[in-house]
Amino acid sequence: MFDLGFRIWDLGLIGMKCRSVEWLMIFLVLTLAGSMLVACDRQQAEIPAVAEMRTMKDDLGRDVRLPEKVTRAVSLAPSITEMVFAAGAGDRLVGVTSYCDHPTAAKNIQKIGDTQSPNIEAIIAVRPEVILVSTASQLEAFASALEGQSAAVFVLDIRGLGDVADRLRRLGQIFSSGERAELAAIEFENRIAAVKRRPRAKRPARVLLQISEADLFTIGRDSFITELIERAGGMSVTADIPGGYPKLSKETALALDPEVIILSDSPDNLKPNDALRNSAAVRSGRVYRVNADILSRPGPRLADALEQLAALLRQEPTGN
Amino acid sequence: MKRANYIFLLLIAGLAAALVAAMLLGSERVSVFEMTEQGRAILFDIRIPRVLLGACVGASLALAGASLQALLRNPLAEPYLLGVSNGAALGTLLAFVLLGDVAGARPVMAFAGAAIATFAVYQMAKSRAGMNVERLVLSGVIITTFLSSIIVLLTSLLDAARLRGYTFWLLGDLSQATYNGFYLTLAAAAAGTIVLSSQARALNLMMIGERDAFDHGVEVGRVRIIIFGAASVLVGTSVAASGSVGYVGLIVPHIVRLVVGSDNRLVVPMSAIAGAIFVVLADTVARTAIAPRELPVGAITALIGAPLFIFLLRRN
Amino acid sequence: MLEARNISVRYGPCDVLREVSLSLSEGRMVALLGPNGAGKTTLLKALNGTLPAAAGSVVLDGRPLAELSRREAARRVAVVAQENETKFPVTVLDFVLSGRFAHGGAFGWERAEDISVAERALAECDLQNYATRLMNQLSGGERQRVVLARALATEAKILLLDEPTANLDLAHQAMIFRLVRGRCDTEGFAAVVITHDLNLAAEFADELILLHRGGLFAAGAAEEVLSEANIAEVFGVRSLRDANPATGKVRITPVF
């Protein structure tokens, strides 16, 4: 379950819708691929294929053939876009999704649709050498459909904090920007380590991360945010619940009685659910909002998220 | 009438048992004998309003289904089939988008949506030679698909965060129950039971045939308006409170008819009680099956309802 | 009791019925004759208000039919329509009891009186043991008798019957005509009967009305209406006319 551009947890909910969209996509891709074949053949003929090729393993373990020097790439997830920029190769991006809004420079890159339904024609039109996708993004079908094109599809699967530095280095290899990527990776590792070295409370605070107020979605066992909270010196009260982003029973929310409530910032999540109105967190005023993008995009800004969470969890109760 | 009285008693006892069971079960254990403050909050603030709301929603949907089936002489008619549910859903969505959290906006808009959908179907189905049932059902299908496409369009235009709350609700979800929602649906269900029961004998004749009913003294046009109006109120309040909980209006009256026959004077009130039992039990499953996670109750009613419906269809 | 004055009925732009008059008084039995599409059923529907008259008026017991509530009209006029099928399982007794609707209150549960009226009507139509049978499991002829029983159960004095004998065997055809005739003779009933059986009409009816292309072609006693010329003109069939040796009434035999 990974970054699809908007909040990751939206995925399961719109799953049903995605299903049909997905089939439609496959259909479209196949028809388009067929009709584009002629055009692409011509393109290949025009550009002399003298560029030297190399092979790299992606996160699905596939051997992907890449040009020695990648100059044109498309990113199909905002987290990947942030990673590419951090790895010093933002200038090679020729296409990103409409959700890719960070860093600011990403806003000016050609949009090729959103993460769920990228526009295949638009992607082919920007003539990428590499298309970077994230696994869980139901885009595998889409990816394999693009396989026949001259563009390589590289799967970058970032499952949490521990993967970020490694994938930055990998991107450095892909884009031959090893030095800058290495610097970014080291900086990221240092920031994580610095948080770890900070003094923390003897007992980790019991944290509930609320994703939406009315229907009370939260994080479960499989969400990387659970780990993020632990590293920040807290513990997620919903860490044992199976799944990534479960809808939590209000009764259980009340019974869990969290000491800290983190609201991922969004228009439908401005205050804790009613069931939590007498919780320790609300009574002591330990309810905090955190930017939903830095929380939900598994990319370089996870370091920001970690630092913010750590700072919040160190705060003393202020309330009445 | 003796047998019918026993069945009534049985249904009422069943409802009482279902309510008690539902109030005792949940994702958290609450001991009734050693009531803690937390237990009291769970029971009275969260569980009981939800169980009661479920009962009223079940009763409302089953009432609407039973009376529409008799009126349209089609055992397969359902609020959903006629576009009434979708009208209510669209009304609620519009309230959600345009009016936000204005108190009372959702049920009012849901009723308006249901009533407009019903009126549109009625106008489309009416012809110079009166209304024929095939035409009505066909109009219902057209309205339903039309409204669905508007709903899809609107949800596509909404940004993801706002869409999220709505998507789960569309599947039928009781987790946002409040006492106010319960009072409103209770009032609708009670009024609906009385109004529809008062038309039950007329419905018996309408069920045989509209011309037949007319010949025997039924003011056919008036009965039709009363039934459509009552169904709009019932479906509107239910959908506003809990989204589209499917299959209740179809399955419940069907089973009641298998037991007591087709007399609407029995079918209408008994469907109300049986519908309440059905939704209360289904929601108990939705609350506890994968606790502390939750399922939408609409998924449970469809899971039970669809196979049961196919079975009943094959038996006939 | 029931009078139609120059009524016309329209479906869309075309007149289905043109300026037809009919008068029904106590004890009389009128037979409506005519080929398919002549307007017989339309006239019957206009007589109980199912179809509004575009011109002319229908007067029931001295009051325009349009002013009466459905309940009032139904207490006075009972209809036996052509078949009506329901997808719901309804018992014969419940079906016949539905004829008591106009006598009941709004929430309407039947009283003992309603049930005894219904049972008597069933017995009169030779359906004593049918009360608990389901309508959709009966034969066409049985169902038709149940529909007649329901009309009797309404206790309306005016009966409008649309081909009540179409699916019946000889014995039950005679039974039904005898029953209606009997009610007219002894209990002050009046009846309009649509039939294709000219001989049954001649045998039982006081007055015959022959409709042709939506208009009144002939009306009066069997001897006048059922002339060989009329039959040839209206039905397009050559026929022989003589007298029934048993009753002396007009008898028509088509010649093919």
Q: Give the pLDDT score at C83.
A: 65
Spatial contact of A57 and A64, defined as CB atoms under 8 Å apart: yes
Tokens of residue C32, six digits: 């409506």
* Tally: H helices and E strands in chain C: 9, 12
Q: Give the pLDDT score at B125.
A: 78
**Test the B interface: residue of A99, A250, A283 with most B CBs within 10 Å:** A250
Domain boundaries in chain B? 2-315
Relative orientation angle of helices B179-198 and B220-242, to the nearest 10 degrees: 160
Relative orientation angle of helices B297-315 and B248-260, to the nearest 10 degrees: 40
C147 lies in some domain: yes
Cβ separation C73–B217 shorter than 8 A = yes
- Domain tally for chain C? 1
Cβ separation B46–A251 shorter than 8 A = yes
Whether C131 contacts chain B with CB within 8 A:
no
- Residue A68 one-letter amino acid: E
C231 lies in some domain: no
Query: What is the architecture of the domain spanning A10-190?
Result: 3-Layer(aba) Sandwich (3.40)
Pick from B46, B162, B292: which is nearest to A241 by CB? B292
A201-314 CATH: 3.40.50.1980
Q: Which of residues 66-85 of A touch B (CB under 8 A)?
A: none
Cβ separation C70–B219 shorter than 8 A = yes
Give the whole-angstrom CA distance, residue B230 versus residue B191: 9
C242 lies in some domain: no
Task: Report the chain C residue with the minimal C-alpha distance to residue B254.
Answer: C88
Cβ separation C104–B201 shorter than 8 A = yes
Same fold, A10-190 and A201-314: yes
State the pLDDT confidence band at B15, using cuts at 50, 70 and 90: very high
Domain boundaries in chain A? 10-190, 201-314
* Per-residue pLDDT tens digits for B20-30: 999 999 999 88
Does residue C241 or residue B312 have the better pLDDT? Answer: C241
Q: Give the pLDDT score at A320.
A: 41
Tokens of residue B120, six digits: 């549109």
Scan for tokens 């459509």, then name that residue.
B228
C touches which chains (3+ CB pairs under 8 A)? B
Cβ separation C101–B202 shorter than 8 A = yes
Cβ separation B28–A275 shorter than 8 A = no
CA C74 distance to own-chain centroid: 14
CATH superfamily of B2-315: ABC transporter involved in vitamin B12 uptake, BtuC (1.10.3470.10)
Spatial contact of C58 and C51, defined as CB atoms under 8 Å apart: no
Pick from A214, A216, A255: which is nearest to B38 by CB? A255
Instruction: Choose among C102, C93, C87, C113: nearest CA to B201.
Output: C102
Q: Give the pLDDT score at A238.
A: 95
C234 lies in some domain: no
Pair type for strands A73-75 and A93-95: parallel
Q: Which residues of chain A have pLDDT under 50?
A: 1-48, 319-320
Scan for tokens 């039959």, then name that residue.
C231
Q: Give the pLDDT score at B276.
A: 98
Stretch (H or E) spanning A263: strand A260-265
- pLDDT tens-place values along chain C, 256 residues long: 899 999 999 887 778 899 999 999 999 999 999 999 888 999 999 998 888 888 889 999 989 988 899 989 999 999 998 766 667 788 999 999 989 998 876 567 888 889 999 999 999 998 989 999 998 888 888 888 999 999 999 999 999 999 988 888 998 898 899 999 999 999 999 999 999 999 999 999 999 999 999 899 999 999 999 999 999 999 999 999 999 898 889 999 998 7
Pick from C70, C72, C107: which is nearest to B197 by CB? C107
Q: Give the pLDDT score at B114.
A: 93
Cβ separation B215–C104 shorter than 8 A = no
* Per-residue pLDDT tens digits for C140-170: 888 889 999 999 999 999 999 999 888 889 9
Task: Report the chain B residue with the minimal C-alpha distance to residue A240.
Answer: B292
Q: Which residues of B touch C112 (CB under 8 A)?
A: none
Pick from C48, C84, C89: which is nearest to B261 by CB? C89
Q: Which residues of A touch B292 (CB under 8 A)?
A: 238, 241, 246, 248-249, 251-252
Whether B38 contacts chain A with CB within 8 A:
yes
Spatial contact of C60 and C68, defined as CB atoms under 8 Å apart: yes
With touching defined as 3+ CB pairs under 8 A, do chains A and C touch? no
C222 lies in some domain: no
Assign residue C182 the CATH number of its domain.
Answer: 3.40.50.300
Give the range of the structural domain holding residue C133, as residue numbers without chain letter.
Answer: 2-217
CA distance A29 to chain B (A): 21
Q: Which residues of B touch A251 (CB under 8 A)?
A: 26-28, 42, 46-47, 292
Kindly provide the ipTM of the predicted complex, given to two decimals. 0.86
